[in-house]
Amino acid sequence: MKLVGNWSYPTAVRFGAGRIRELASAAKAVGMARPLFVTDAGLAGLPVSKRALDVLAGDAVPVSVFCEVQPNPVAANIEAGLLALRRGDHDGVIAFGGGSALDAGKVIAFMAGQHRPMWDFEDIDDWWRRAETTGILPIVAVPTTAGTGSEVGRAGVITDAATRRKTVIFHPLMLPKISICDPELTVGMPQLTTAGTGMDALAHCLEAYCGVAYHPLADGIAVEGIRLVKENLARAMQDGSDVDARGHMMAAAAMGATAFQKALGAIHALSHPVGALYDTHHGLTNAVFMPYVLVFNRAAIAAKIARLAAYLGLEPSFDGFLAWVLALRAEIGVPHTLAGLGVDDRQFEPMSEMATRDPTAAGNPLPIDAATCRRLYQNAYLGSL
């Protein structure tokens, strides 16, 4: 392994209960006078959105609300958002919500300055260098879930409806200028959403830690993020008003996305096709695949996982960590199989091809090909570890 890497953690994060009150000042700090408020339809009418909009109105920051964002955003959502952005002559984006709204808002702000098709900026090689940087608008991100960590990420996942493939759109300037992480905004999350988003944060930390690149900064962040999940996810589900547990989970989510600039892996590579074809919840899908991918990668990661298990206070072995993952999934209601997500076995062949082409596949500790993916899909369908 060559000790070479590119490391960057430049997002300014305003973290803490009640800090949504700083939304207007954050928008002004990055030069926004007329931001577009991007969220999803389910969130737009809830009190948590009204609270944010009241903060903006109270400090004389005029906004328009765009909420045509699907749970797995598609290109049509981005196009509609760009139309709203231009019609309102907006000069920035406030991305507010879960990972879908954050991803959509970031891509809308990015595409405001582009003349090429969005797919030309897929996270392949250095395609991001094709972008025209002068027209990219500033972003303030406000997560209302604790999972994706998109508030500190440089990409957005958009589904290509024509090919039914999840595509990662990437550019360094898609990184929000300021993120407001207020755990009070997550208090109303349903239990299933809390479980799915929390397991997404765990998957991000775990795959970053196991990835093959040299990035000790990411490793350290990932390990502590996993500890926060271990100690707080079940707590947050047992008492949805536990703001301390919610806060620790929100920190873990940001840590996972900060760490995964190092790598993701087969959990995500397998999960993306399932989400694209079956519209499943991304975090829950990651959670289903987690133990199957761990077992597949065992030969390459056993020593690292043993060190991780020791840090977490578990039996210091791969088996000890795997047992904890399985127990956590059972405790919070994650299905053990794909069938539990309503996924059948009819599309394993095309999904296997899609998974091998997914950009996250390259970061897996062991190489994966279509045959490997087909076997992992089958294992996850049958519940065979």
Whether 73 and 16 share a structural domain: yes
Distinct helix (H) and strand (E) counts, the chain: 14, 8
Whether 135 and 98 share a structural domain: yes
Asked if 87 and 34 touch (Cβ cutoff 8 Å), the reply is: no
Asked if 76 and 159 touch (Cβ cutoff 8 Å), the reply is: no
This prediction's pTM: 0.93
CATH number, domain of 131, equals 3.40.50.1970
> Number of structural domains, the chain?
2
| Position 4 in a domain | no
Whether 143 and 256 share a structural domain: no
Whether 272 and 136 share a structural domain: no
Asked if 42 and 69 touch (Cβ cutoff 8 Å), the reply is: no
Separation CA 97–CA 72 (nearest Å): 13
| Position 5 in a domain | no
Whether 140 and 44 share a structural domain: yes
Separation CA 307–CA 311 (nearest Å): 6
261-282 burial by CB neighbour count: b if 16+ within 10 A, else e?
Answer: bbbbbbbbbbbbbbbbbbebbb
DSSP string, 136-166: PPPEEEEESSSSS-GGG-SEEEEEETTTTEE
CATH number, domain of 247, equals 1.20.1090.10
Whether 179 and 198 share a structural domain: no
Asked if 180 and 23 touch (Cβ cutoff 8 Å), the reply is: yes
Query: Tens digits of per-residue pLDDT, 284-310?
Result: 999 999 999 999 999 999 999 999 999
Whether 165 and 297 share a structural domain: no
- The tens place of each residue's pLDDT in the chain, 385 residues long, gives 467 766 667 789 999 999 999 999 999 999 999 999 999 999 999 999 999 999 999 999 999 999 999 998 999 999 999 999 999 999 999 999 999 999 999 999 999 999 999 999 999 999 999 999 999 999 999 999 998 999 999 999 999 989 888 899 999 999 999 999 999 999 988 999 999 999 999 999 999 999 989 999 999 999 999 999 999 999 999 998 999 999 999 999 999 999 999 999 999 999 999 999 999 999 999 999 999 999 999 999 999 999 999 999 999 999 999 999 999 999 999 999 999 999 999 999 999 999 999 999 999 999 999 999 999 999 999 999 9
| Position 164 in a domain | yes
* N- to C-terminal Cα separation, the chain: 30
Whether 275 and 337 share a structural domain: yes
Query: Tens digits of per-residue pLDDT, 351-373?
Result: 999 999 999 999 999 999 999 99
Structural domain including 213 reads 191-382
